[in-house]
Amino acid sequence: MAEQWTEWFEHDGKGCPCVGMYVRARFDEGWPRELEGVCTGNPVPWNWDLPRQPGKHWGKVVLYRIRRPRALLQLIEMVENLPERRRVKA
């Protein structure tokens, strides 16, 4: 079963909405321009009001998407393939 991602969400710069989730984030500048992994909630790239740290190359997160866990995809598939429910005559 292939991994599945949500659509890209535009980030508003008001903190991290996806702590603990597996995400792919795109930055407006700096290096790297895109990262993928479990989001730790590092506030600097997610909260645009925080001052940038000297010597750090983090830009601001402008786009992000979340990977759906394989277990969730398996549950969706199981529900979609449930046998048809039949009424038994008494």
CA 1 to chain centre: 18
Task: Find the radius of gyration of the CA atoms of the chain.
Answer: 19
pLDDT at position 23: 94
pLDDT at position 80: 82
pLDDT at position 40: 87
The two three-digit tokens of residue 73, written as one number: 């995809």
pLDDT at position 79: 81
pLDDT averaged over 10-residue windows placed end to end, the chain, 90 residues? 82 92 88 86 86 74 88 72 77
pLDDT at position 78: 79
Ordered by start, the domain boundaries in the chain are 4-80
